[in-house]
Structure 1
Amino acid sequence: MPRKAARLVGVSLLGLAGVLVVVVAAGLGFRAYRQHLAAETLAIHSPMGVQEGEYVDIGGIKQWIQIRGEDRDNPVLLFVHGGPGGTTLPISSGWRPWEKHFTVVQWDQRGTGRTYGAAGDTLAPTMTLERMIQDGVELTEYLRTHLHKERIVLVGHSWGSFLGIHMAKQRPDLFYAYVGTGQVVGRTTFEKAFELTIARLQARAASTGNSEALAELAPVAARPTITQENRLIAEKWSSAFALPPTDRIQLAGPIPPRFMPDFSLLDWYNWRKGVAFSTKYLTGRDGPMFRHDMASIGFEFSIPMFFIDGDADGVTPGGPAEQYFNQIRAPHKEFVWIRGGDHFVPFNRPDEFLAELMSRVRPFARN
């Protein structure tokens, strides 16, 4: 290449790099500005309020928690997130009204978000249901002391409902009540979800006149167990039909996740890494949700029990949860259907979820 042409190419590349630097800097600056506005929107100014974020020593490691509420005299609500590994910190701005009535605690569980970022893959040998139940118990005991409460309200979503109900069973003395949403009861939950997926695929195949798909799906529909062969058939036709997910996180809050204050690009990196890491150890055929059925811990509970499920939940369909719930014996229990609600009702219908908490659960949370 002639020297002049090479010089022009070099100048062009430098110019392009400069443009990219300006664009990136502008994007980061805009994000920082939006985060500043979001921080003002979400700030708690009440003299009795609490707004904290800190690492706490739990289970021999540093685990991140966030505590927010407008009145320290309100009951404490511990939200046990799903995923596994799905920190709720960037998607919880819709819970701002909850903080008028509860002191809301969010917890990056072992293998999740900032907790994962602090410890990394060294957590692998400890990623067990038993260890994480104990983590939840230790956290609850810390919250009782730190926030001067005898008991707290426990809310578990999806994987967090599986973890949370074990916590409630082992240490009912720590909790006013248990609330499960997207409640997992074990293998039957995922078998029902798989059955619904096959039914959707059959409907799509019939509507498009795809005889090959109908032929392959028919024996699976006749016996919709989650075998490797059946899973491959479902994945094949889900891809072929571009079958969209039935449940999406359509957040109902003032702050988009990418502009959530005090949530850095490193936090997003650790969020993604934590989800992949936790999924590896806690889901699938060898994971605790698939291997352990809720019937194994029995049906006797000594605290009020509430299940609040969307009747359109395609991830953890409520049918198996309702069957299990009907066998529960507790001093008080209620199963609540959110009509038209999907797997993410605490996030996309937070006001409706709060209304259920206030009318059904809050009366049991006596300070």
Structure 2
Amino acid sequence: MIHFGFSYVGLVYLIMLFLPNIIWIKNKPADYDVYSKNENKILLSFERFGEVSVCAISLIFSDFNLRTWSYSYIIFFLSFLLMILYEISWIQYFIGEKTMENFYSSILGIPIAKAVLPVMAFLLLGFYAGNSFLLISTIILGIGHIGIHYVHKKELLRKAKKRNDGLKILKIFLFALFLLAVTFITVIDGIRNYNYISKSSKLVSKKGAFDEQLYVDIGGEKQFISIRGKNTDNPLLLWLHGGPAYPDTATTNRFSDYLVDEYTVVSWDQRGCGRTYIKNKNLDPKNVTASFDRAQRDIYELLEYLFKKFDKDEVIIVGHSYGSLLGACYALNNPDTVSAYVGVGQYVSPKALIYSYKKALNKASKKNQDTSYMENCYKKYEKDDSYINMVNLENSISRFYLKNGDFKLKSPAFTSAYYGFDDLLWNSIECSSIFDMNSYVDLNKQLFEYLAETDVRDYGTQYNIPVGFISGENDYICPLAYVKDYYKKIDAVDKKLEIMKKCGHSPQEESPRHFSIVLKEVLESLQ
């Protein structure tokens, strides 16, 4: 995200950038003007434009400032280290011979250090802040500034010995890779900034509006939450993500954008995953405290915090998949503080997996698709219904329904305005499951074990609050047939079931706008 405001970090960087240059004016190499007379006008215009824009942008966005500790500080420290090296390269010049050779000397193997180092430092500062404006301006500055001094050095070395062609090709290749990476990240940050400016930034301009991401002390850990809404007088709505350990706080804005007029929407990275896990990794690296019972207490403590913050005494709970198991349990046991409960892709029973398997097998056989892997997973699950075999079978089934929308994201998480470096670190842990599913699942072993042996009907069917359900017609993870059966069996103050056509297990991701409309209709019909 980008936020306007004074940046003291930007000011420090600019002082570090310009102070040596001011001293240099009276300490130029004797023959520098000979080289500067023939500077390329196009490169010079790039340099001038880059200088002005980088200076302005560095000062007017507060995102460059230091904030609550996260692993994104690694990028900031690298950036600041490059600025320190930049100062050292100038000190070497000022205390040494003031010649063109010394002026264009390298440091730690970095060529044209006085031109390259500040450009690299400001690029990393842009990555740290997720600010595409600084990234683009720095690239423009780099083209002009580094280009000019590269030409100068090339002229200086004309009479020098010819370089090794192999080394030169390698450097060109590495530079091309670096340029490609910078371009990719700049484009991604540009999309993220656009998404924030076009939608989310409108929230903070409203009086009484909330668009806040913060860590809250819950159960001995600092847990990450996001709060979004246009009027704090609106009802509180707590979104519980699925999984277990499938946080979606970075992308809930895709549907909450359409809810913030009527509700204050709170999403939360639950204990043991996402930013919450990364923040507390040193405290609880193996997720010993991440249990279902602890999650219930975490919800209670989170709601205590929210009730106090917004002067409320009740909340609407909306849970997805595993989150619907959490939500149903909490709503059944705490009707005094839960005004309504909605299950999205409601989890009912582990036996639903067998139902989904048979449906998938029947569908695949009609299309003559290879089902050998799925059948092998089922045989293993029949012999041992452990959580590992359950997850493997579920994944094998899902492969046959990707076209129906399951797990299909129209906009990847990393283009979200709310996606941070800690989200990236968690996603890297998730990606490790491709190579080692056991280690990934073991990280939240207690939750997966609980899921593998729990039927929501065992909690009871007497709700003393209004209850709603939203399911995709193509949901083969928590199949609609089981949701319908559960819906018939429960007693509630009022109840409502909505089926979203052409959607799978995650309608909020597959069709966020339509989902928000359906959710509002369900809640309005229940109240």
For normalisation by structure 2, the TM-score amounts to 0.59
CA distance in 1, matches of 2:364, 2:383: 17
Q: Aligned ranges for residues 36-115 of structure 1 at < 5 Å?
A: 36-41=193-198, 42-43=200-201, 44=203, 45-95=205-255, 96-115=257-276
1:313 paired residue among 475, 479, 486? 475
Is 1:110–1:123's contact at 8 Å kept on the other side of the alignment?
Answer: no
Aligned pair 1:269/2:269, yes or no?
A: no
Is 1:87–1:271's contact at 8 Å kept on the other side of the alignment?
Answer: no
Aligned equivalent of 1:24: 181
List alignment gaps of at least 5 residues for structure 2.
Answer: 1-160, 434-438
Bigger RCO (CA 8 Å, 6+ sep): 1
Is 2:212–2:227's contact at 8 Å kept on the other side of the alignment?
Answer: yes
Aligned equivalent of 2:48: none
Alpha-carbon deviations, 1:267-292, whole Å to 9, x = none?
Answer: 22223426857733557996212211
Distance 1:177 1:338, change over 3 A: same
CA distance in 2, matches of 1:226, 1:73: 49
**Structure with greater strand percent:** 1
CA distance in 2, matches of 1:52, 1:136: 19
SS, match of residue 173 in structure 1: coil
1:153 paired residue among 312, 316, 339? 316
Aligned equivalent of 2:98: none
CA distance in 2, matches of 1:364, 1:278: 39
One-letter amino acid of the counterpart of residue 195, structure 2:
A
Is 1:181–1:309's contact at 8 Å kept on the other side of the alignment?
Answer: yes
Q: Aligned ranges for residues 162-177 of structure 1 at < 5 Å?
A: 162-177=325-340
Segment of structure 1 superposing worse, 7-16 or 44-53: 7-16
Aligned pair 1:13/2:13, yes or no?
A: no
CA distance in 1, matches of 2:263, 2:513: 14
Distance 1:293 1:248, change over 3 A: closer
Is 2:406–2:475's contact at 8 Å kept on the other side of the alignment?
Answer: no
CA distance in 2, matches of 1:71, 1:278: 40
Aligned equivalent of 2:492: 330
Segment of structure 1 superposing worse, 282-291 or 38-47: 282-291
Q: Aligned ranges for residues 121-132 of structure 1 at < 5 Å?
A: 122-132=285-295
Residue 327 of structure 1: how far off its partner (Å): 1.3
Aligned-pair identity in percent equals 25
Is 1:285–1:291's contact at 8 Å kept on the other side of the alignment?
Answer: no
CA distance in 1, matches of 2:187, 2:355: 45
CA distance in 2, matches of 1:82, 1:104: 17
Aligned equivalent of 2:452: 290
Distance 1:322 1:195, change over 3 A: same
CA distance in 2, matches of 1:351, 1:20: 38
Residue 247 of structure 1: how far off its partner (Å): 3.4
Residue 298 of structure 1: how far off its partner (Å): 1.0
Structure with larger Rg:
2
CA distance in 1, matches of 2:286, 2:384: 32
CA distance in 2, matches of 1:280, 1:268: 20
Distance 1:117 1:284, change over 3 A: closer
Distance 1:274 1:67, change over 3 A: farther
SS, match of residue 78 in structure 1: strand
Distance 1:52 1:187, change over 3 A: same
Aligned pair 1:345/2:345, yes or no?
A: no
Residue 259 of structure 1: how far off its partner (Å): 1.9
Distance 1:244 1:175, change over 3 A: closer
Give RMSD over aligned pairs. 3.2
Aligned equivalent of 2:406: 248
Residue 55 of structure 1: how far off its partner (Å): 0.3
Residue 53 of structure 1: how far off its partner (Å): 0.7
Aligned equivalent of 2:104: none
Aligned equivalent of 2:13: none
Distance 1:363 1:326, change over 3 A: closer
Is 1:91–1:251's contact at 8 Å kept on the other side of the alignment?
Answer: no
SS, match of residue 483 in structure 2: helix
Is 2:317–2:341's contact at 8 Å kept on the other side of the alignment?
Answer: yes
Aligned equivalent of 1:188: 351
CA distance in 2, matches of 1:89, 1:295: 28
Distance 1:325 1:33, change over 3 A: same
SS, match of residue 214 in structure 2: strand
CA distance in 2, matches of 1:321, 1:244: 19
Distance 1:358 1:32, change over 3 A: closer
One-letter amino acid of the counterpart of residue 333, structure 2:
Q
One-letter amino acid of the counterpart of residue 310, structure 2:
L
Segment of structure 1 superposing worse, 105-114 or 90-99: 90-99
Distance 1:225 1:174, change over 3 A: farther
CA distance in 1, matches of 2:446, 2:353: 10
CA distance in 2, matches of 1:261, 1:351: 17
One-letter amino acid of the counterpart of residue 294, structure 1:
V
SS, match of residue 90 in structure 1: coil
Is 1:112–1:271's contact at 8 Å kept on the other side of the alignment?
Answer: no
SS, match of residue 361 in structure 1: helix
Residue 225 of structure 1: how far off its partner (Å): 9.8
CA distance in 1, matches of 2:426, 2:448: 24
Aligned pair 1:258/2:414, yes or no?
A: yes
Aligned equivalent of 2:280: 119
Distance 1:182 1:271, change over 3 A: same
Is 1:81–1:157's contact at 8 Å kept on the other side of the alignment?
Answer: yes
Distance 1:122 1:281, change over 3 A: closer
SS, match of residue 66 in structure 1: strand
SS, match of residue 346 in structure 2: coil
SS, match of residue 496 in structure 2: strand
Aligned equivalent of 2:516: 354
Residue 117 of structure 1: how far off its partner (Å): 0.7
CA distance in 2, matches of 1:295, 1:84: 19
Distance 1:189 1:142, change over 3 A: farther
